[in-house]
Amino acid sequence: MYWKIISWGLLIAVSNVVKSEFYSSVSDLDKLLQTEGIILKQLDSYIQAQEERLGELRRRTLSWKSAHGKATRNAKDYLLNPVNAFLLIKRLTLEWNDIEVIANAMAKQDLMNPDDADKNTLELPERVDLLGAMDALLRLQDVYNLDASAIANGIDTGSKMFADDCFELGQKLQETGDTHHAADWFREAYSRFNLSKIDLNKKVKILEYLASYSYTTGNVENALDYTDYLLDLQPDNKKALGQKTFYEDAIWEQQDKLFKSDKISSSKASNNILAVYKKLCQGEILRNASETSHLRCRYTSTLSAFSKIAPFKIEEINLNPRIVVFHDVLSDTEIDLLKNWSKPLLSRAGIANQETGKGEVSNYRVSKSTWFTDDYHATIKIITERVEDMTGLSMDTAEELQVVNYGLGGQYGPHFDFFHWGELTKSNRIATVLFYMSDVKIGGATVFPKLNFALEARKGSAAFWYNLH
């Protein structure tokens, strides 16, 4: 039989190198900090060089103005002096040429000095990385039911966003047709107008959108307020003047006929797997004592010969189907080795196409991964043998060790860990061992929607369950 006996992987749950994929793996983000450091150093050098040139231009200009002032006080007598005539011509030839050279050098100097940093070695993010990072924040907002303000305030420990940052997220949501969440972000941008400078055109767009959204959701008074503010900024804005009249007429004549809110009741999705998945991620669904009182933690020495001299710490998570966690089965040294080996090898993880069976990239799975065979290093072989001791399953037909790194808002949506369609069912995954290589402060859980519980990531531990039973 050509069956895979066990599938296993490692989850580096540290909180998006393949070009243009910085956002999907946090291990690549430190490279952007290095790039930022190089750019700031170059900016300092650029500014210093330009300031030196400006200083020289100021010195020459002052000297020139002094000579010119002296000449113009009595031009006729001044020009009769051959020395003065020489100096005038010199100023308009050699000295002017020197000034042109300095000015041209200012215009031509590259921000990045090739003598100090090779531009080709800098790893700069591209548009796709920005879009991926934006998707990550919006996915976190959706999955964890966060307010826009919570994210804009840095989610406790991060940097605070300014109006311009919030505008970009609102605009992206507007482009995708998510009017409700777009309004949340535009409102957040509006509330931060006074915190930093924001382009007038962006202010106008934010106010126009909020006025229109307020009207369509039945709040004409707010629509009029936003429009009045817009007219304070642009008194001659013809569109806003027309809208102001329209809103005033609507308030006066038809307040009871305004559009109803387009919010969809969350109760309609309460039985949906995705809805349960999100609630579990948010911590809204917790098991009670009656569901966990029969679960045990223990040392076990009966799984293998090795376990007789080094018993495993096992915590029961669920009995039917059986899910357990092995604690302290991956050392800090092993974790550091795996992270260091995997960093230069990580590439965007994919999912299997149900028709072709081939891997393809999807926003359903946002992470990077790589694979290691036992012959890569003795440590890999040791971990493989440990999995066999833990599970009692043969590793002869197991898949290679997979290391996965989740980046900004990284996720793997609800899925089966076995193949239930196509040719891949002929070579299937009986069980999964999932090591955790980091502790996670926010999020990072392994969620089982049909069983209604979430398993928190704990560094050095490993979850084990059967996919086919």
User: pLDDT tens across 44-58, in order?
Assistant: 888 888 898 899 889
Q: What is the mean pLDDT of residues 118-122?
A: 55
Pick the CATH number of 285-466 from 2.60.120.620, 1.10.569.10, 1.20.140.10, 1.10.357.10: 2.60.120.620
Sheet architecture: strand order including 462-466: 297-300, 312-318, 323-327, 462-466, 431-436, 7-12, 401-405, 368-372, 347-348
The angle, 0 to 180 degrees and rounded to 10, between the axes of the packed helices 179-191 and 200-216 is 130
Q: H/E element holding 34?
A: helix 29-73
Contacting residues for 57 by C-beta, under 8 A, at least 6 apart: 99, 102, 103
β-pairing verdict for 401-405 and 368-372: antiparallel
CB contact at 8 A, 176 and 142: no
CA distance 264 to 393: 48
Amino acid 243: pLDDT: 87
15 pLDDT more than 60: no
Amino acid 134: pLDDT: 79
Burial group, residue 325, by CB count within 10 angstroms (0-12, 13-18, 19+): buried
Amino acid 283: pLDDT: 84
**pLDDT above 70 coverage of the chain, percent:** 80
Amino acid 373: pLDDT: 93
CA distance 269 to 157: 32
Closest CA to 407 of 133, 218, 215: 133
CA distance 341 to 273: 36
Q: What is the mean pLDDT of residues 293-297?
A: 91
At residue 198, what are phi and psi to the nearest 5 degrees?
A: -135, 140
CATH fold, domain 127-252, is 1.25.40
Which of residues 361 and 81 earns the better pLDDT score?
A: 361
- In this structure, what token pair is assigned to residue 330? 């991956």
What's the residue count for the chain? 469
Burial group, residue 104, by CB count within 10 angstroms (0-12, 13-18, 19+): exposed
Amino acid 357: pLDDT: 65
Q: What is the pLDDT of residues 418-444, one digit of tens each?
A: 876 655 556 788 899 999 999 987 778
Amino acid 222: pLDDT: 87
Amino acid 24: pLDDT: 66
CA distance 356 to 340: 34
* Residue 1: pLDDT band with limits 50, 70, 90: very low
Which of residues 89 and 68 earns the better pLDDT score?
A: 68
* Residue 175: pLDDT band with limits 50, 70, 90: confident
User: Average pLDDT, whole number, for the chain?
Assistant: 80
Q: What is the pLDDT of residues 316-375, one digit of tens each?
A: 999 999 999 999 999 999 999 999 999 888 888 887 766 666 777 777 788 889 999 999
Residue 159 carries which DSSP code? P
Burial group, residue 194, by CB count within 10 angstroms (0-12, 13-18, 19+): exposed
Q: Which long-range contacts (CB under 8 A, 24 or more apart) does 269-275 make?
A: 273/414, 273/449, 273/450, 274/413, 274/414, 274/449
Q: What is the mean pLDDT of residues 133-149?
A: 84
Query: Model-level pTM?
Result: 0.61
Q: What is the mean pLDDT of residues 367-390?
A: 93
Closest CA to 11 of 297, 407, 378, 360: 407
Tell me the CA distances in angstroms from 346 to 81, 276, 374, one per residue in order.
77, 31, 18
Q: What is the pLDDT of residues 177-187, one digit of tens each?
A: 888 888 999 99
Q: What is the mean pLDDT of residues 97-104?
A: 82
7 pLDDT more than 50: no
Q: What is the mean pLDDT of residues 8-30?
A: 51
